[in-house]
Every structure is written in C-alpha cells, then in structure tokens.
C-alpha cells in the first residue's frame, strides 16, 4: 500500500453538487505533462464506488472552507480529448449508492465547464464542448468559463416510449397521467427515467414520503427519478426532484427540468419556446421540440483540493 495524492475539484449546477476527478491524471497523461508522474499511478481512484460513498456523505464527506456544503450528490470522473473538434469530455457519473447514472443535466454543464477550463477555452468567446455520456453525446456551449459559467446543452429527444423509459414489459403504451403508488405521474426518459407529477404547489407535498414508493414501483424496472412540477405565475414551472442514486431530494435536477418541459409540452401548456423551470437551487431554462431538447443554466466551480488516498 502506498499513498497517492490526487486533485479533486468541487462544482455545482444550481446547487446540484459534484466532486470532479480528472481521469487524465488517471492515465498518467497529465502527470507526464506536469512532470510529476511518480505522484500518480494508473488510476487516481482505485475503488470509485467506495470513494464516492465516502466523500459524498453529507456529514462525514469532503468539506472545504470555500464551500457551504459537506459531501456531494455524486462524483464526475472526467477525461478530456482536446485534439477532437470540438473537444470531447468523457463523463462517468458515480452516485452515492454505487450506481452509475447514464446522464445528468447539471453534471454535463459542470463537465463542459471543466473541459473548457482544462483547455483554456470559453473565456473570450463561447466554447463548444461535447460531453460524452452513456446516454449519448451532449453538445454543449460554455459561456464565460471562469468559476461561474452559463452552459447550454443539447439534451436529445425526450422519449415517452415504454421501452425507452423503461417501463415494465406489461406496459405497451406510454404511461401518461396514471396513478402509481398514490401519485399521478407521466413517465419520460430525458437521458434517465423521470416520473413527473403535476401538482398545485410543489412545496405543499412531502416529497421524502411520497417519492420512494414511486421510485421503487414495479412499473419502473430500473427505478425512476420522481419530479414534482407546478405552473408558476410567470409562464414557467416550479420543480422538486427526488433522485434515484442519491435516494433523496436534490437542489436541482437538469434532466428533471427537461422532463418537466417535455410533459408540459405534451399537456399543451407550452410550445417550442424556452421556459423557466425553478428547482430550489435556482432557475434553469429548457426548450423542447418534436425531436430535440435543450437545457441552459449555471455551472460553478467552488474549489480544488488535494486528497491523499491509500492504494
Ligand atoms: N441530477 C441529475 C440527474 C442524475 C440522474 C440520476 N439521479 C439517476 O437517474 O439515477 C441531473 O441534473 O439531471
């Protein structure tokens, strides 16, 4: 066993927060260019799942004077390919329960900002970065790549198809406004599954009580995120999300915001325009059309620190 030092950064998008570990350091690439190869071995983090569970814990996880919150909603293991045009950032998003999320809208914005910063892009003019996720490529544009950026992401085509959500095999048609475990939901996949419930007032619902039975319902063989939405007075929507993988409410959920837009459009509440969706952590802009969806919002870098790991 030996001690290995790794650099860890903390980012968040509308309060959905992530630790970021560079996989370039993992392969030794960055170490080679920085001339400190001995300090890093082949992978910066041997056991990604144990690392994520440990460092993301809200009580005992990673804390820092420049951050309000201990722990995080997950870890983004990122590798940048600066030779590609546009540059590509490969994202592996490990969640505190040990699962790997196929997509994460707030995480993609953070990954795009991280990639732009690594390459020194996005400062004088917007930078295009493609974030590569298990759910597909997510073309992103980073504006103002300092510590606080705005990132716009092409989120692909939301799907209500039962095999895409996915729903259990006895569901042969989309699940639209059906009652599942006491909550009336519409199921949509925006990179990951969401069960969206339109309610009168999102703050009047005990989300931690109503969401877990839906999250684990038989209708969703891979589980689902559970989203509450309510029209606000300004043509947008309030949003709250209980996340699979975090197993609790998060401050914001980007794929969930797009899910709210997709369900609102299906209900005829909005058209193809940009609309504002407001999770507790701050507003996000979403736009859904017949064959595409887009998410725009902040990405912020909070700090960088060094951790000594035993391997
Ligand atoms: N917070 C993320 C979603 C993570 C998805 C994950 N909770 C799952 O489906 O397992 C977002 O901004 O889109």
Which ligand 1 atom is at minimum distance from the Cα of 224?
A: 9
Distance (angstroms) between ligand 1 centre and the Cα of 110 equals 13
Tell how far CA 69 is from the center of its chain. Answer: 17
As a whole number of angstroms, the distance between CA 288 and CA 295 comes to 9
**CB neighbours of residue 264 within 10 Å:** 23
CA nearest 297: which of 75, 8, 10, 11?
11
pLDDT at position 42: 55
DSSP annotation of 204 reads G
Distance, in Å, from the CA atom of 71 to the CA atom of 62, rounded to the nearest integer, reads 5
Question: In the chain, how long is the greatest CA-to-CA distance?
Answer: 60
Q: How far apart are CA 264 and CA 241, in angstroms?
A: 16
Annotated binding-site residue numbers: 16, 95, 105-106, 225, 243-244, 254-255
Which two structure tokens, joined as six digits, stand for 16?
């959905």
Question: How far is the centre of ligand 1, averaged over its atoms, from the C-alpha of 209 (Å)?
Answer: 19
Mutational pocket test of ligand 1: of 245, 279, 298, the residue with most ligand atoms within 8 Å of the beta carbon: 245
Distance 92 CA to ligand 1 centre (A): 12
Backbone CA torsion sign across 196, 197, 202, 205: negative
Instruction: Indicate which atom in ligand 1 lies nearest the CA of residue 253.
Output: 12
Element holding 78 (H helix, E strand): strand 74-81
Nearest CA to ligand 1 atom 9: 192
What residues act catalytically? 104, 253
d(CA 211, CA 224): 10
105 lines ligand 1 (CB under 6 A): yes
- 168 phi and psi angles, rounded to 5 deg: -60, 150
Burial of residue 163 (number of CB atoms within 10 Å: 0-12, 13-18, 19+):
exposed
Is ipTM strictly over 0.90?
yes
Q: How far, CA to CA in Å, does 177 sit from each of 180, 200, 202?
A: 9, 15, 17
- Name the residue among 66, 74, 103 with its Cα closest to residue 188: 103
End-to-end CA distance of the chain, in Å? 5
Which of left, alpha, beta for 115 (phi over 0: left; psi -120 to 50: alpha)?
Answer: alpha
Distances (CA, A) of 239 to 4, 92, 154, 273, 295: 41, 26, 20, 18, 14
User: What is the full per-residue pLDDT of the chain (311 aa) written as tens digits?
Assistant: 678 889 999 999 999 999 999 986 543 343 333 433 333 445 678 899 999 999 999 999 999 999 999 999 999 999 999 999 999 999 999 999 999 999 999 999 999 999 999 999 999 999 999 999 999 999 999 999 888 999 999 999 999 999 999 999 999 999 999 999 999 999 999 999 999 999 999 999 999 999 999 999 999 999 999 999 999 999 999 999 999 999 999 999 999 999 999 999 999 999 999 999 999 999 999 999 999 999 999 999 999 999 988 77
Q: What is the pLDDT of residue 37?
A: 34
Quick check: CB of 281 below 6 Å from ligand 1?
no
Distance 107 CA to ligand 1 centre (A): 8
Q: What is the pLDDT of residue 1?
A: 67
């Amino acid at each position: 066993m030996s001690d290995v030092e790794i650099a860890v950064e903390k980012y968040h998008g509308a309060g959905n927060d992530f630790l970021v570990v560079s996989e370039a350091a993992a392969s030794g690439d960055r170490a080679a260019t920085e001339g400190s190869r001995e300090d890093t071995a082949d992978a910066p983090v041997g056991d990604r799942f144990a690392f994520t569970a440990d460092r993301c814990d809200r009580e005992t996880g990673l804390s820092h004077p420049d951050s309000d919150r201990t722990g995080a909603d997950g870890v983004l293991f990122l590798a940048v390919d600066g030779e590609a045009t546009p540059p590509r950032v490969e994202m592996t998003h490990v969640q505190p329960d040990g699962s790997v999320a196929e997509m994460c809208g707030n995480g993609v914005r953070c990954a795009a900002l991280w990639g732009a910063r690594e390459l020194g892009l996005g400062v004088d003019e917007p930078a295009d970065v493609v974030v590569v996720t298990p759910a597909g490529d997510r073309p992103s544009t980073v504006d103002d790549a300092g510590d606080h950026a705005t990132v716009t992401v092409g989120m692909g085509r939301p799907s209500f198809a039962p095999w895409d959500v996915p729903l259990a095999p006895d569901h042969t048609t989309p699940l639209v406004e059906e009652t599942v475990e006491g909550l009336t939901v519409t199921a949509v996949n925006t990179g990951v599954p969401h069960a969206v419930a339109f309610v009168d007032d999102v703050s009047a619902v005990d989300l931690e009580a109503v969401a877990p039975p839906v999250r684990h319902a038989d209708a969703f063989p891979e589980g689902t995120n559970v989203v509450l939405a309510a029209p606000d007075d300004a043509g947008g929507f309030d949003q709250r999300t209980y996340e699979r993988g975090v197993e609790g409410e998060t401050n914001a959920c980007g794929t969930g915001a797009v899910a709210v837009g997709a369900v609102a459009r299906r209900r005829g509440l909005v058209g193809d325009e940009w609309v504002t969706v407001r999770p507790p952590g701050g507003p996000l802009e979403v736009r859904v059309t017949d064959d595409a969806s887009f998410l725009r919002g902040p990405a912020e870098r909070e700090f960088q620190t060094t951790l000594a790991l035993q391997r």
